[in-house]
């Protein structure tokens, strides 16, 4: 088994990485991955790459990429370069980002990155909600598999539930995000949630790693366009 060198990913802000042997993942997940992406069973491992904190956005901005999806484009390019340098004799296929993504939260749970939150996005004890899945690839590598991060969800022990109180659309009033209420409030002309999420920003967990305002605006502007198209 080969140990991986992820220094180039870390420096770019793609600082979360996990390696799984495919035959050790849940059978249903593997069957779906094989059916959609690898019917010839070429690949032995799945590599999950994410980012946490502020560095990735700074790297994206410094790269000069000005596409519609600069974070995705930068992440795919950076991971592709890293893989080519580290594993010149190996094959890989990127299966996320894309419209046919695998179950990212399920992979995040296996890696120990993800705990459920009232916001329906993952939360962790260190990074809070300020992390995201960036690239998933299948590869014929023989890397040392990752050990899951051992941590507990910070939400059950939270006494103040400030995220619920801070939601201006009352979409968290029942203790879990009501997507219909959230979308309806965001679409209002005077909504304060068009390019941010006061509930998410209010959470104290991992607040030192909170994205900069520009990245928050970028992310929520994209989701706002989706709501306007589909809701």
CB environment 31-48: b (16+ within 10 A), e (fewer): eebbeebbeeeebbbbbb
* % pLDDT > 90, the chain: 92
Domain residue limits, the chain: 7-139, 162-230
Give 137's strand partners.
Answer: 47, 94
DSSP 3-state of 31: helix
Give me the pLDDT at residue 99, please.
83
The answer to whether the beta carbons of residues 144 and 6 sit under 8 Å apart is no
205, two tokens: 């967990």
Element (H, E) at 95: strand 92-96
Q: Does residue 106 surpass a pLDDT of 90? A: yes
Strands 45-52 vs 92-96: parallel, antiparallel or unpaired: unpaired
**Contact partners, residue 167, CB within 8 Å, separation at least 6:** 173, 198, 199
pLDDT digits (tens, 9 = 90+) for 157-194: 998 899 999 999 999 999 999 999 999 999 999 999 99
156, two tokens: 């059950």
Element (H, E) at 185: helix 179-186
pLDDT classification of 207: cutoffs 50, 70, 90: very high
The answer to whether the beta carbons of residues 57 and 211 sit under 8 Å apart is yes
Give 133's strand partners.
Answer: 50
Give me the pLDDT at residue 231, please.
75
Give me the pLDDT at residue 2, please.
58
Give me the pLDDT at residue 100, please.
84
18, two tokens: 């996990």
pLDDT classification of 4: cutoffs 50, 70, 90: confident
123, two tokens: 């939360």
Give me the pLDDT at residue 204, please.
96
CA distance 164 to 172: 5
């Amino acid at each position: 088994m080969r140990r991986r060198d992820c220094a180039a990913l870390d420096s770019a802000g793609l600082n979360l990485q996990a390696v799984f042997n495919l035959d050790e993942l849940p059978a249903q997940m593997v069957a779906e991955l094989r059916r959609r992406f690898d019917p010839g069973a070429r690949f032995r491992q799945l590599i999950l790459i994410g980012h946490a904190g502020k560095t990735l956005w700074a790297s994206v901005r410094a790269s000069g990429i000005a596409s519609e999806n600069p974070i995705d484009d930068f992440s795919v390019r950076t991971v592709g370069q890293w893989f080519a340098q580290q594993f010149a004799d190996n094959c890989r296929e990127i299966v996320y980002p894309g419209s046919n993504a695998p179950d990212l939260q399920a992979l995040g749970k296996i890696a120990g990155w993800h705990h459920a939150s009232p916001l329906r996005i993952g939360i962790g004890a260190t990074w809070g909600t300020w992390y995201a899945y960036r690239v998933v690839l299948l590869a014929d590598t023989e890397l040392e598999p990752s050990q899951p991060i051992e941590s507990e969800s910070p939400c059950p022990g939270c006494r103040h539930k400030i995220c619920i109180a801070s939601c201006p659309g009352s979409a968290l009033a029942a203790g879990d995000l009501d997507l219909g209420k959230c979308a309806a409030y965001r679409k209002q002309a005077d909504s304060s949630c068009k390019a941010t999420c006061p509930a998410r920003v209010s959470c104290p967990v991992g607040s030192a790693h909170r994205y900069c305002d520009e990245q928050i605006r970028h992310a929520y502007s994209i989701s706002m366009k989706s709501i306007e198209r589909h809701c």
